[in-house]
Structure 1
């Protein structure tokens, strides 16, 4: 790992600033007014936790919401994302019955910056389906190690850029937060009702020890957590997209289409129908070691190390069939082919295996120096890395079996999409013994794929604050400098063989069995993808693993200056923070691949890529700069009534995967379509001008009502531009060997190609549809946030209700075929929370609702919508003493399911059931 001295080379501008100010930036000391509140020690109990969060909101500049731990090691929910969804304007997306990423005011995970103790944190993932994202996944950090979370909804000059929706800061404890020896520990039994294979009850253990020595001059804190979870997912759905071209259909019945909504008589079909059974195991460790040293009252040094380890394993089996094309079927009123069918086809028997690790490590140093009574400085530096799938092994392995394909043994397949979930039917009477007879099942294909990603962030922040002790409206000047080096190196891992049928592979040693099926499939297969691939390897059918490397480096220098004002107007207190942040960013991206030189036509459908023997590199650069102002004003109309107005400009940087320069050949079936994509390292960040108004009435201790209006005008929104063009390989244009078939083709395999079935210079050049991301669009988003928090006197009862409305003109129009641009993640949401806290007993019930939203699509392609979802969670605890308590938690206690669909509701993508989850545990503190 390179040193700070090599990675943080100061520009002339940076050196001049440091020389002039002697120090700079500290996002941690945001402003004197709010910093005094944000440094409060963690409090106990639901009421105190909510009151503390309310005080942060009341006393901060701009619009800030917060969650505080109810006690040491006791956060309101088992998952940070689940806690954040209780904040007005924050909603979450769930994966496997667990919150994993957040949307703020309609802006999804990639538009929100997540920091840990005000430090920008890296992220990585090994699965191709997850892509390469900047957005932090909250499941990787244990809630027990967190003391609080702050959500900054308005931009601040002294906060790192990158949060267009919000900047979310996760806080952890330090030894000087506690006056004496402190220890906490909890043990929890997790009871997942969905488990089919695995342990019904798994452990979660956490602990923290902190102490100070040498008359409070030295402090040490160590925390650790270990969590295991086994769970099962039942899924009914489809794969691929509901498309207007593939799988094709000649002369569909369109008589039922409503031409007032669909005047072109467009029709949509889906390639597959699936039913899945999946079992997963997850193990997570978090640890933190913090050392603090205060040699004088004016100087404090903090050295910290934070680590997390996440290991995931999973196995899935799928029963399916694939419409290579649709021969017959009628459209419904919207144009969805609801009863597709095809003769002379096959059933498919799938197996998946998942396995990967993610290692996160962060080393940090923080120095706080009170130079004079008026002037203080802070230095903060960290080196943090997230490494997914070390060793670059495939993270996902899948295999498929099928019935023998051909006129001698046809299977007729059909589906019905007229209801909430699909049903299937098939005629396998031409197969003696039927489609599930092992004698009628042969190998088809295997694939291995995944990423190894290493994301490193090195950041140094120097900050200063001058406080005015004399009379006057100016109370403080904050100034700072930061330098951030953001590096991502990814290795994409792929290997496949699509030509294992026709007796090419011997399956006699494969352990294949069946369990009861669903939606019309008689059975669901049970076999291991790993065993299948091992058998392929033993028979010489395993193709080499292809690795493609991509990377990006972003170096950002930033400076800021802000002023805090406090004055009065007509007897009303006025507070203001006015600031400006300037940033310069240089971008370098690279792709290192074995380029494609042609195609190998293996089966009637499959054309595999032929790669060059040597690697070729593409390198491109980009640069941009931004001025990011903010102005926050608050007026105490009276002591308990506060009005706010804020203006700010914020940015969010483009997705990493969109900035790699290489061209990816995505679809290349012999029958088409031929689709490719190319990244663009010159993409500019999304830039938003934000305006906020709010009125807040703090009418009693722990109780308040607030209403706020927000508007965001976003420029540089990324849209996809399509271009029809021929792609050049090292030896000339890429050509299509299936366009004018030569005798005997298709034939051969990936490992042993037949020369006549490979691309030749005389073959027709392929015309590709190439997608390239460009900064093309702008949009406006506005909405309202309402929140009521009320404590019912000394009864112990309390309640919270909040509601968020989000609107935009750029929503997906399901009746338009020209949705070149639509906002993803836009949805209304609300929370209803009731609690009781009296003496030794605490109880809480929390209901969350989120409306349907566009999950992906809208860039010229077909959409995926996540349907509205509600979830009910409960928790209760009893304190046997000041040191020992017992607790119980229930997550998704009403067993809600998740459903996703395409353009219309009957175009199902996923219907998933997880089951409730319950936790029972003990917590002790000293």
Structure 2
């Protein structure tokens, strides 16, 4: 449901300025960078050494703490993925998905705490996983990027929203080159992880730029298209649960080994499942940008641009899983059950299909006007959309599960095994999983085919799920910046001022269908695939499930539909509109202290934000006791809207000081106040019931539009040395006082049906009623909730502002060129600390700062004549990814990457990039390191190609 569109009060003014024939003396657009008003000098040199020297120069000339990466040459960014390049910056680390960087953390603050802009503009993002503010870097091609700047301190003219940093991606414009420029690149992506699909896929990119009419008009067009097939093997579990076994009939957990000095309640943790699975993914990405520039007079530059992204990804998954329904075992000293076994149960064979298509479009207009010799203005507007799964279908997930209940036992020759009475023995699976190693050692008896748990004749249907999610995120942003420069003597050199209006609008439509089913499998194509070398980089992989069953989830759901067992979907809409008006002013000073040059910037930013959100959903009419595992939610079919509004204002000062101690040494101090806005998904007011079961758990979730932003007072102190050849060494200490972190708080309360009466549980009351439980559709009315049934106390999870933290750390960076030998090296290290670490024995602690970890880089390179070679190692220490009822940790990870190129002549070069050379693996765990969640491996990846420039 769309709200009224943005009122473009000042767009007419910008068009009038453009049409008035006013002019500028500069051809460098102020939208290039969040720090563009600092008049940063960019060194136009190419190659590894030139790129590093240019980045060092940007850091030296910036006001505040700014790090940067610049392209080594036209169309040549240091890495094939932007996030992979950003991790080379001190203080920046990345999250990986499918062996590719997709989001960044800065100074220990995860992706949601950093603001990513494109040419100074806040850009929308969308995902079938739900609303997010953080940009996914895998959606934009690195070849289209000219540079990236990471502003780690706040400034009055920088859009609010980045606690860790504001990351600005810069793309090229025709006036940047001033003459005809073009490049083309063709490469093959060789992915060693591929099982289904092609192990070699194409990636093509190109750009052409030219100026006409004596430099008064320019056009630039860039395009990039890439395909990638990949695979991923995973071993793990669906999660660890505290004290679960005690509620399960027959469960026996020996807790005598628990150290009661740490764990006095003798709490213990069991995994839900033991899992082995295979992911196969196909991805297609298209990027394009058209930029038009005109300089009708010497004092005016008008820039119009259009940027698009088309991103499509399809993934299929097959999983073998065993649920520990009646677990036995013993614990270690912490309470982790380390040798779980569960006799005589069933295996599950899951199949998933995921699909996501994103369409991102942005149109912008920028006008630079030098009004007088001392006064200049910049007007910038953009209207940008990001849409996930735009089709009406909206389906992004198909899920199906088969299982093997008791099946006839046979001997090795396939003959029936009889009991003493001559009846064939009905078998189950006897499984044990030892979680003390890198991966669980899983033992399954009777794995012969046929006549085993894997025999098609012993499989039955279990459940299905189909989910759809369509999301549109629109951002319209208008910005007016002005600079008055003092042309006379005096310490005050410039006054910067401006106004910004931003409207963020998110609309989502969600549908869900879920049910346990009993259908014939005769037409379902089921094949057997051996595990092979899945997870062979982890000890114990030889004891995994021996085979996968491969089938299509969508085919299974087609059978469900044909059998008339597809349930009616639950459909809901959610939306949020966030409007922010901002004013800022700052003052630049240049003076001396004891004859040492000093630069000062003092500013303040005022932001006023209004938030309104809505949920449109059907009312809950009843719960249906459908089977022993499911309480089906019955909706009334009538959509009703619930809306809530909120808002806040903030005043954000900043002070930046830098001094040239010598010609080579710079010291700087910065203070700034910055904010981080709440996640968009937190703001929806609707209440969702989270798959209630007859015996619980009874959990629900609800948003909170009245959340306040995080606020951070930031202090930075640095000492920096710059050599004449681009070598540099720097040491930076930072400290952040952050308030209003958002945590998920649980509250016990009753929820109501659409008629206002409390929701009741039909399962206890329906026992003995004829026909209950009932999986029919429509359901048997006898199995529905009644007022006389027990009232359910729900555990409602709601985001609230609750936690404060102090974060500090050190950034150490050095780059050095070894004279004219061609050799050079870069090394950096970041140490991050927080005043309150996560304590695994504090079971009520539900918050920890995600992404907080030490990190480091070591890069060596050789560049001389026609040769370029770079070997890079990136390391990130263990960090907590999320903290809720049970935390998720990511183990420390290090990766080697190699790139090399050879210039055949001035116009043509060939290259190879190798990612994850040594086939590193990732591992996630829960509260303790023995509580394995995921062990994943991907394999190395190589890009081999040719670059041509004109």
TM tier, smaller: over 0.9
The answer to whether residue 438 in structure 2 is matched with residue 420 in structure 1 is: yes
Partner of residue 420, structure 2: none
Please tell me whether the aligned partners of residues 401 and 441 of structure 1 are also in contact (alpha carbons under 8 angstroms). Answer: yes
The 2-side partners of 1:188 and 1:873 are apart by: 17
Please tell me whether the aligned partners of residues 857 and 874 of structure 2 are also in contact (alpha carbons under 8 angstroms). Answer: yes
Partner of residue 35, structure 1: 39
How far does residue 10 in structure 1 lie from its aligned partner after superposition?
7.5
The answer to whether residue 911 in structure 2 is matched with residue 887 in structure 1 is: yes
Partner of residue 718, structure 2: 694
The answer to whether residue 551 in structure 2 is matched with residue 527 in structure 1 is: yes
After alignment, is 752-761 or 240-249 more displaced? 240-249
Please tell me whether the aligned partners of residues 247 and 326 of structure 1 are also in contact (alpha carbons under 8 angstroms). Answer: no
Partner of residue 338, structure 1: 338
Partner of residue 147, structure 1: 146
How far does residue 700 in structure 1 lie from its aligned partner after superposition?
3.4
The 2-side partners of 1:30 and 1:334 are apart by: 49
Q: 5 Å matches for 1:315-464?
A: 315-323=316-324, 325-391=325-391, 392-404=393-405, 410-427=428-445, 433-464=451-482
The 2-side partners of 1:602 and 1:424 are apart by: 33
Partner of residue 759, structure 2: 734
The answer to whether residue 223 in structure 2 is matched with residue 224 in structure 1 is: yes
Please tell me whether the aligned partners of residues 358 and 387 of structure 1 are also in contact (alpha carbons under 8 angstroms). Answer: yes
Partner of residue 19, structure 1: none
Partner of residue 525, structure 2: 511
| Secondary structure in structure 1 of the residue aligned to 2:763 | coil
Partner of residue 17, structure 1: none
Q: 5 Å matches for 1:463-502?
A: 463-498=481-516, 500=517
The 2-side partners of 1:397 and 1:627 are apart by: 47
The 1-side partners of 2:88 and 2:447 are apart by: 55
Please tell me whether the aligned partners of residues 387 and 454 of structure 1 are also in contact (alpha carbons under 8 angstroms). Answer: yes
The 2-side partners of 1:468 and 1:171 are apart by: 29
Compute the TM-score of the two structures, normalised by the length of structure 1.
Answer: 0.95
Partner of residue 209, structure 1: 208
How far does residue 649 in structure 1 lie from its aligned partner after superposition?
0.4
The 1-side partners of 2:856 and 2:367 are apart by: 41
How far does residue 542 in structure 1 lie from its aligned partner after superposition?
1.9
The 2-side partners of 1:560 and 1:592 are apart by: 38
RMSD of equivalent CA atoms: 2.2
Relative to structure 1, is the Cα distance of residues 368 and 353 closer, same or farther in structure 2, using a 3 angstrom cutoff? same
Relative to structure 1, is the Cα distance of residues 148 and 31 closer, same or farther in structure 2, using a 3 angstrom cutoff? closer
Q: 5 Å matches for 1:225-304?
A: 225-245=224-244, 248-249=247-248, 250=251, 252-304=253-305
The 2-side partners of 1:590 and 1:663 are apart by: 11
Encode CA deviations 1:381-420: one digit per residue, 9 max, x unaligned: 0000000011242111110001136996543443221211
Relative to structure 1, is the Cα distance of residues 305 and 643 closer, same or farther in structure 2, using a 3 angstrom cutoff? same
The 2-side partners of 1:403 and 1:687 are apart by: 54
| Secondary structure in structure 2 of the residue aligned to 1:110 | helix
How far does residue 531 in structure 1 lie from its aligned partner after superposition?
1.0
Please tell me whether the aligned partners of residues 277 and 317 of structure 1 are also in contact (alpha carbons under 8 angstroms). Answer: yes
Please tell me whether the aligned partners of residues 6 and 476 of structure 2 are also in contact (alpha carbons under 8 angstroms). Answer: no
The 1-side partners of 2:800 and 2:551 are apart by: 44
After alignment, is 508-517 or 551-560 more displaced? 508-517
How far does residue 280 in structure 1 lie from its aligned partner after superposition?
0.5
Partner of residue 135, structure 1: 134
Please tell me whether the aligned partners of residues 141 and 286 of structure 1 are also in contact (alpha carbons under 8 angstroms). Answer: yes
| Secondary structure in structure 1 of the residue aligned to 2:556 | helix
How far does residue 41 in structure 1 lie from its aligned partner after superposition?
6.9
The answer to whether residue 190 in structure 2 is matched with residue 191 in structure 1 is: yes
Partner of residue 172, structure 1: 171
How far does residue 167 in structure 1 lie from its aligned partner after superposition?
0.1
Please tell me whether the aligned partners of residues 651 and 686 of structure 1 are also in contact (alpha carbons under 8 angstroms). Answer: yes
| Secondary structure in structure 2 of the residue aligned to 1:107 | coil
**Which runs of no fewer than 5 residues in structure 2 stay unpaired?**
15-21, 24-28, 408-424, 532-541
**Which runs of no fewer than 5 residues in structure 1 stay unpaired?**
15-21
How far does residue 33 in structure 1 lie from its aligned partner after superposition?
6.8
Q: 5 Å matches for 1:661-740?
A: 661-731=685-755, 732-740=757-765
Relative to structure 1, is the Cα distance of residues 463 and 246 closer, same or farther in structure 2, using a 3 angstrom cutoff? farther
How far does residue 245 in structure 1 lie from its aligned partner after superposition?
3.3
Relative to structure 1, is the Cα distance of residues 694 and 201 closer, same or farther in structure 2, using a 3 angstrom cutoff? same
How far does residue 701 in structure 1 lie from its aligned partner after superposition?
1.6
After alignment, is 151-160 or 534-543 more displaced? 534-543
How far does residue 719 in structure 1 lie from its aligned partner after superposition?
1.8
| Secondary structure in structure 2 of the residue aligned to 1:490 | strand
| Secondary structure in structure 2 of the residue aligned to 1:827 | coil
| Secondary structure in structure 2 of the residue aligned to 1:612 | strand
The 2-side partners of 1:246 and 1:77 are apart by: 48
Please tell me whether the aligned partners of residues 84 and 101 of structure 2 are also in contact (alpha carbons under 8 angstroms). Answer: yes
The 1-side partners of 2:808 and 2:318 are apart by: 44
The 2-side partners of 1:148 and 1:298 are apart by: 26
| Secondary structure in structure 1 of the residue aligned to 2:439 | coil
How far does residue 820 in structure 1 lie from its aligned partner after superposition?
3.4
The 2-side partners of 1:234 and 1:29 are apart by: 40
The answer to whether residue 835 in structure 2 is matched with residue 816 in structure 1 is: no
Q: Work out which of the residue numbers 791, 798, 801 in structure 1 matches 2:817.
A: 791
Partner of residue 536, structure 2: none
Please tell me whether the aligned partners of residues 42 and 147 of structure 1 are also in contact (alpha carbons under 8 angstroms). Answer: no
Relative to structure 1, is the Cα distance of residues 728 and 712 closer, same or farther in structure 2, using a 3 angstrom cutoff? same
Q: Work out which of the residue numbers 882, 896, 899 in structure 2 matches 1:856.
A: 882
How far does residue 622 in structure 1 lie from its aligned partner after superposition?
0.3
Partner of residue 73, structure 1: 75
How far does residue 486 in structure 1 lie from its aligned partner after superposition?
0.2
Partner of residue 550, structure 1: 574
Partner of residue 805, structure 2: 779
The 2-side partners of 1:821 and 1:3 are apart by: 34
The 2-side partners of 1:604 and 1:222 are apart by: 60
Encode CA deviations 1:802-858: one digit per residue, 9 max, x unaligned: 00000002221123223132111110000000011101111101100000100111x
The 2-side partners of 1:41 and 1:254 are apart by: 65
How far does residue 673 in structure 1 lie from its aligned partner after superposition?
1.2
Relative to structure 1, is the Cα distance of residues 353 and 151 closer, same or farther in structure 2, using a 3 angstrom cutoff? same
Q: Work out which of the residue numbers 857, 861, 872 in structure 1 matches 2:896.
A: 872
Partner of residue 792, structure 2: 766
Partner of residue 860, structure 2: 834
Relative to structure 1, is the Cα distance of residues 36 and 373 closer, same or farther in structure 2, using a 3 angstrom cutoff? farther
Please tell me whether the aligned partners of residues 42 and 71 of structure 1 are also in contact (alpha carbons under 8 angstroms). Answer: no
The 1-side partners of 2:450 and 2:360 are apart by: 55
| Secondary structure in structure 1 of the residue aligned to 2:764 | coil
The 2-side partners of 1:153 and 1:758 are apart by: 57
The 2-side partners of 1:751 and 1:653 are apart by: 44
Please tell me whether the aligned partners of residues 43 and 69 of structure 1 are also in contact (alpha carbons under 8 angstroms). Answer: no
